Structure 1
Amino acid sequence: MSKGRVLVVGSNATRIETRGGRTGATGQYLNETVVPAMAVIAAGYEVVLATPNGTKPHIDEASDKADHFGGDEAAYRQAKAFYAEDPSMNNLKTLATVIAEGLDEYAGVFVPGGQAPVVDLMQDADLGEILRHFHEKAKPTALLCHGPIAVASAMPHAREFRAALVAGDPAKAAEWAKGWQYEGYRMTVFSNSEEKIVEDYILHAKLYFNVVDALQTAGGKVVTTAVDFEPHVIVDRELITGQNPRSDHPLAARLVEALDRATAA
């Protein structure tokens, strides 16, 4: 018997804006999606995957390799099979449907990364409603790598906040962020120096804003590691954030711990 349901929120973005009016390919990272989802299921929970439009997230090609599984080919193949075949990754709902069916039945929520959440999830009104519910109920809320930028959706003017960041107006963005539920929370997210590596070697272009700067502008107390791609997880109240792809297993462990505490209470 399931110990409870956990909502996994995926992105539908496949392109991200870059400076000069161009776009680059993007998506969701395979390991960041699958490792926590499999850990949650192994711990006895049911996983429900939902996206803004109800279609399955695109996996970023940069993540579709054994390198992100410690070079373990067997773990990589298992992850690919899980994402391709497991019912939890294929019986999708829209975020609007999840809200309509009732959020009280969910024990926790998880948002994986890849740069895709920077495009759609951070300004999605339905996700904002979902996150406000989990915040108000103090339910485990976990986000990984670029995923933590999605907490911006909980602010009253998320779309305007993002537009101001793209326009290069952090003062205006800070104004739009007023009333944000996560102001003052300690959190981590993909660091600026890690992002530069992605810009230089994967996107070959510059983004309009960095997620660290965005969350700091909103009022988050962002802490990142001195060494790039070192596993790093921060827990502050109900919020569990992981910095980068290598934080997948540590974040999964902290999420399961939080779920077990919450469901045992």
Structure 2
Amino acid sequence: MSKCKVLVIGSNADRIETQGGGWGKTGHYLNETVVPAMAVIEAGYEVVLATPDGTKMTLDPASDVPAHFGGDEAAYKRGRQFWDSDPVMTNVRTLKSVIDEGLDNYSGVFIPGGQAPVTDLMQDAELRTILQHFHEKSKPTAMLCHGPISATAAMPHAREFRASLIAGDPQKAQEWAKGWQYTGYKMTVFTASEEKYIEDNILKAKLYFNMPDALNLAGGEVIINPTDFAPHVIEDRELITGQNPASDHPIAAKLVAALARANG
């Protein structure tokens, strides 16, 4: 019998703006999504997936390899099967329907990475409602890799904040960030040097801003592991953030432990 519900929130983006007016293909990382989700289910929780428009997330092809599962082919196949056919991943809700149902039904929330959240989630008004609820109720709120940029959705002026970042106006971005509920929180996120590897080798283009600078401008206290692609997780109050794909198992463990504490 399931203990309680945990909300997993995904993006519907399949492309991201790049400097010079271009677009790069994007999505969510396989391991970053399925490893924590499967760990939460294994711990006895019911997982509900929701996206802004209620359709399934796009899989970032760069993540669709056993290397992101420690080279374990069997673990990769289990993860891919979960992504492809598990009811958790195929019965997708809209963010609005989850809000309308009542957020008191959920004990925790998790947002995986891949660059997709940098487009829609970080400025989504319905995500703002969700994050405000989990913040006010001190419920575990976990975000991995690029996922932590979604925390900016909780700003009163998230769209303006993102637009200022795209425009290269950090002073304006700081002004729009006032009133952010995570100001002063310790957190981590995919680093600029880690992003450079993706820009150079996968996107073949540069993004308009990097994630640590954005969260620092917003008022967060960003702490990074200087070793690229090494596991790193930060927990501060209800917020649990992981730096990169290698942080999938560590953030899953932190989230499961936080859920256990929250549920007695």
Q: Give the TM-score, by structure 2 length.
A: 1.00
- Tell me the alpha carbon deviations over residues 118-175 of structure 1, each in whole angstroms, 9 at most, x when there is no partner: 0000000000110000000000000000000000000000000000000000000000
Tell me what 2:191 maps to.
191
Tell me what 1:100 maps to.
100
- Tell me the alpha carbon deviations over residues 13-42 of structure 1, each in whole angstroms, 9 at most, x when there is no partner: 000000000000000000000000000000
**Within-5 A mapping of 1:71-82:** 71-82=71-82
Deviation at 1:85, TM superposition (A): 1.1
- The ranges of structure 1 where at least 4 consecutive aligned residues each deviate by more than 4 angstroms after the TM superposition are none
**Within-5 A mapping of 1:212-251:** 212-251=212-251
Matching residue's letter, 1:5: K
Matched, 1:47 2:54: no
Tell me what 2:140 maps to.
140
Tell me what 1:253 maps to.
253
- Tell me the alpha carbon deviations over residues 205-263 of structure 1, each in whole angstroms, 9 at most, x when there is no partner: 00000011000000000011111001000000000000000000000000000000001
Tell me what 2:128 maps to.
128
Q: Secondary structure at the match of 1:241?
A: strand
Q: Secondary structure at the match of 1:27?
A: coil
Tell me what 1:59 maps to.
59
Matching residue's letter, 1:103: L
Determine the C-alpha separation between the residues in 2 that align with 1:68 and 1:159: 32
Matching residue's letter, 2:174: A
Tell me what 1:9 maps to.
9
Determine the C-alpha separation between the residues in 1 that align with 2:19 and 2:48: 35
Tell me what 1:204 maps to.
204
- Tell me the alpha carbon deviations over residues 28-70 of structure 1, each in whole angstroms, 9 at most, x when there is no partner: 0000000000000000000000000000000000000101001
Matching residue's letter, 1:163: A
Determine the C-alpha separation between the residues in 2 that align with 1:30 and 1:179: 33
Unaligned ranges ≥5, structure 1:
none
Determine the C-alpha separation between the residues in 1 that align with 2:84 and 2:195: 28
Matching residue's letter, 2:222: V
Deviation at 1:115, TM superposition (A): 0.3
Tell me what 2:22 maps to.
22
Determine the C-alpha separation between the residues in 2 that align with 1:77 and 1:243: 24
Determine the C-alpha separation between the residues in 1 that align with 2:60 and 2:18: 16
Tell me what 1:172 maps to.
172
Q: Which moved more, 1:83-92 or 1:172-181?
A: 83-92
Equivalent residues, number: 264
Determine the C-alpha separation between the residues in 2 that align with 1:106 and 1:19: 39
Unaligned ranges ≥5, structure 2:
none
Q: Give the TM-score, by structure 1 length.
A: 0.99
Tell me what 1:263 maps to.
263
